[in-house]
C-alpha cells in the first residue's frame, strides 16, 4: 500500500498509542506512508458527564468508526476496553497489540490505598472500580472524576481528591511517575475487559489493510481478549453493570477470571473458567453462564432497570 491513514482520539495517550502502531507498521512496510488523523469523540466532547450516564454506546469509538465507514481513515486505533462487543458487519477488529500490564494502580499524595484515612475522597469515573473500592474500603468517599490522565493526576496533586485509580498501561505508555504508584492486585481489582491492549479496527472489505497489519496481531493477547469479550457479550455487555475480566494463558491453557458487581448491594460475584486457549470464545460464554447462575443476572437486571427510569 502507498498510504495508510490512522484515526485516533486527540488525547496525549491516544496519540502515543496511535504512534506506537504507526511505528510498527512502518517497520513492516517502509515504503508505505503512515498518517495520523485526530478525531473528536462524544466521550471527549462530554468531558464533564459521568461515564455511567453515557457508557455502553461506544462513546470513545463511534466517531472513529464513522470515519472508517465514510473513507476518511483506513484504520482506527482504540484502547480495546473502549470498544463495544457489538461491531457492525461492515467493520472488522483486525488485530490487537501485545498487552501491556493490565492492572490498575492507585495514585495519591504519598499513601497506599490501605493507608488512606477514613472519609478520604477517591476519584474514579468507572463503576467497576467504584464497586471494587466499596468492597475493599467502604469507609472511603468515592467521587466521580473525569478528564485525561494528566488532569486526574493534577486533581490529586492539587488536593481536590485524595487519590484516584488509573490503568497501569496508560501510565507506562505515557512514561509518567508519581509519588505513590501502587499496583492493585487483580484479586481485589480485576481490570476492565481488554485493558492494556490496543485494537486495530478496519472496514471489512479493506483486504490490503488487513493483510498489511496481520503480522502485528499478538495471538496470546487475541485469545485472551476473545474470551473476555465473549464473557462481556454473554452477560449483556452493552449495559452499565460493573463487569471485569482477565484472561491469562500458560502452556496453552487459558484461565479466565470474571467479576460482576452490584452498586446497591456493595457485593461482587467472582469466578473463573479455564481450558484450551483455542476455545477462548467458549470459555468466556461458560464463565458468563456460571456467574449468571450465581445471581449475576440479577445484578445486571438491576442496572438495566435503573437505565429505564
Q: What is the set of active-site residues?
A: 82
CA–CA separation, 309 and 296 (whole Å): 21
Q: Which three cell numbers stand for residue 87?
A: 461491531
Q: Which residue has the cell 485516533?
A: 8
CA–CA separation, 273 and 26 (whole Å): 39
CA–CA separation, 242 and 238 (whole Å): 11
CA–CA separation, 273 and 254 (whole Å): 8
Number of Cβ within a 10 Å radius of residue 4: 24
Q: Which residue has the cell 493507608?
A: 115
- 102 by DSSP, 3-state: which? coil
| CA angle at 48 for the pair 68 and 113, rounded to the nearest 5° | 105
Q: Which residue has the cell 496481531?
A: 217
Alpha helices in the chain (DSSP H): 12-28, 42-45, 51-54, 62-69, 127-136, 149-157, 168-174, 207-213, 219-235, 280-291, 297-308
Provide the angle, in degrees to the nearest 10, between the axes of the packed helices 280-291 and 219-235: 30
Bridge partners of residue 268, in order along the sequence = 261
Q: Which three cell numbers stand for residue 125?
A: 469515573
The strands making up 253-262's β-sheet, listed across from edge to edge, are: 243-250, 253-262, 267-276
Amino acid at each position: 500500500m502507498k498510504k495508510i491513514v490512522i484515526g485516533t482520539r486527540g488525547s496525549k495517550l491516544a496519540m502515543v498509542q496511535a504512534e506506537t502502531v504507526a511505528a510498527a507498521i512502518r517497520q513492516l512496510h517502509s515504503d508505505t506512508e503512515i498518517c495520523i488523523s485526530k478525531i473528536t469523540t462524544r466521550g471527549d466532547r462530554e468531558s464533564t458527564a459521568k461515564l455511567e450516564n453515557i457508557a455502553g454506546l461506544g462513546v470513545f469509538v463511534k466517531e472513529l468508526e464513522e470515519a472508517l465507514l465514510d473513507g476518511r481513515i483506513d484504520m482506527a486505533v482504540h484502547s480495546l476496553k473502549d470498544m463495544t462487543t457489538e461491531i457492525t458487519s461492515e467493520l472488522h477488529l483486525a488485530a490487537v497489540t501485545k498487552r501491556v500490564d493490565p492492572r490498575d494502580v492507585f495514585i495519591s499524595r504519598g499513601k497506599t490505598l490501605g493507608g488512606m484515612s477514613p472519609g478520604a475522597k477517591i476519584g474514579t469515573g468507572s463503576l467497576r472500580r467504584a464497586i471494587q473500592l466499596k468492597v475493599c474500603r467502604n469507609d472511603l468517599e468515592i467521587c466521580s472524576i473525569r478528564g485525561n490522565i494528566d488532569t486526574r493526576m493534577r486533581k490529586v496533586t492539587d488536593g481536590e481528591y485524595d487519590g484516584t485509580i488509573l490503568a497501569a498501561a496508560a501510565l507506562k505508555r505515557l512514561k509518567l511517575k508519581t509519588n505513590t504508584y501502587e499496583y492493585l492486585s487483580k484479586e481485589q481489582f480485576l481490570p476492565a475487559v481488554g485493558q492494556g491492549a490496543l485494537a486495530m479496527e478496519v472496514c471489512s472489505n479493506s483486504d490490503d489493510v488487513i493483510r498489511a497489519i496481520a503480522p502485528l496481531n499478538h495471538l496470546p493477547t487475541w485469545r485472551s481478549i476473545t474470551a473476555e469479550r465473549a464473557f462481556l457479550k454473554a452477560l449483556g455487555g452493552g449495559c452499565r453493570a460493573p463487569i471485569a475480566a482477565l484472561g491469562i494463558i500458560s502452556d496453552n491453557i487459558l484461565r479466565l477470571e470474571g467479576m460482576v458487581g452490584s452498586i446497591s448491594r456493595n457485593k461482587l460475584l467472582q469466578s473463573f473458567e479455564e481450558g484450551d486457549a483455542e476455545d477462548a470464545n467458549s470459555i468466556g460464554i461458560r464463565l458468563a453462564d456460571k456467574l449468571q447462575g450465581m445471581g449475576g443476572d440479577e445484578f445486571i437486571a438491576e442496572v438495566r432497570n435503573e437505565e429505564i427510569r
